[in-house]
Amino acid sequence: GYLLLKVGAFPDVYQATTERHLKNEDEQSGLITVEKMASSFPGWGYSHAYNARLLLKLGRELEARDAARFAIHLPLWTLDDSLSEIAKIAGYQEVESLKKMFRGLSLDPRDSEVAQGKAVEQVALDRAAYVLDRVVAEDDDKRWSREVKEELAALYGIARLPEIAKFVSL
């Protein structure tokens, strides 16, 4: 409790607090804590994936499905969990269709968005995010290949973020 109240919110502290509540057979406090965790990190998939796993463990399948679906709609690189397992909780019959979707999003040059007036830099950042999602979804040994790093570096260069471009190309 001290860290959460005096220092700040950290997902692992919320998780430990949730586990402590469950160990003490206080399911309601555990659920409240994990909900607070998810709301404290709204754009971070990990807290929603953890929430989904907890809800499933407690026999709350529909709520678990919804939490897992929400987690998958956030940047996959924030998931810190198995996409296959979270997709299964979310009710997807096969993960391959998800992988195809993320691959397609990452390969789309999004020229129409630029033509409609969206800044080239923003489109490059969006594309970089999709590349990161693709890397997480592919889940193979080649996912952080030299080609992927170069692709990300080029996109961050277009986005006028040369320091990040240099970092990812290392």
Q: Of 61, 60, 53, 59, give the one whose Cα is nearest residue 34.
A: 53
Query: End of a domain among 63, 93, 123?
Result: 93
| Number of domains present in the structure of the chain | 2
95-137 pLDDT, tens digit each: 888 889 999 999 999 999 999 999 999 999 999 999 999 998 8
Query: End of a domain among 93, 120, 145?
Result: 93
Looking at the structure, tell me whether residues 41 and 54 fall in a common domain.
yes
Query: End of a domain among 41, 66, 93?
Result: 93
Q: What is the pTM of this model?
A: 0.84
State residue 142's pLDDT score: 66
CATH code of the domain in which 63 resides? 1.25.40.10
State residue 80's pLDDT score: 87
Looking at the structure, tell me whether residues 44 and 88 fall in a common domain.
yes
Residue 110: partners with Cβ closer than 8 Å, 6 or more residues away: 118, 123, 126, 127
State residue 164's pLDDT score: 97
Residue 98: partners with Cβ closer than 8 Å, 6 or more residues away: 72, 83, 87, 92, 137
State residue 73's pLDDT score: 93
Alpha-carbon distance of 59 to 42, in angstroms, equals: 24
Owning domain of residue 142: 94-170
**Tokens 């529909």 found at:** 62
Looking at the structure, tell me whether residues 127 and 143 fall in a common domain.
yes
pLDDT < 50 stretches in the chain:
none
3-state class (DSSP) for residue 10:
coil
> How many alpha carbons lie under 13 Å from residue 144 in its C-beta half-sphere?
5
State residue 6's pLDDT score: 79
What's the DSSP call for residue 93?
S
